[in-house]
Amino acid sequence: MFKIGKETVNKVVGIADKLITDKDKKNQIGSDLIQNEMVSGSSFVRNARPMIIYTGLCLIVLEFFGLRLLALQLMSATNLMIESSTQIFQFYLISWSSVVSLYTGARTFEKYKARKLFKGK
């Protein structure tokens, strides 16, 4: 799973690297994308990444209280359905934690880069 994601990201970055050869232009494009996201009139665009975190936390809390298993029990789910649901939820947790880790790392790097740039002036 991680190998496929890594390969996909490498392909996209590789295409961008081939198309944009000027390092300053690459940095400017990245900065412009982040700024456009922050000043967007759409509240969804500004809050999409934090919403992913909050949705995941909400699902984890619901799982902690056993609501998924309760819902499956009320639907008279078979053992196979419960087992499949558990495997899907475990896959979701791995995916969600990977996304949150990448988001946290990227935000930390952005803040570090901004502080370093601000101190340099």
Where do the structural domains in the chain lie, given as residue ranges?
1-39, 42-121
Q: Is the pTM of this model over 0.75?
A: no
Q: What is the pLDDT of residues 48-61, one digit of tens each?
A: 777 888 888 999 99
Q: What is the pLDDT of residues 10-39, one digit of tens each?
A: 565 566 566 666 666 666 666 666 666 555
**3 near 11, Cβ under 8 Å?**
no
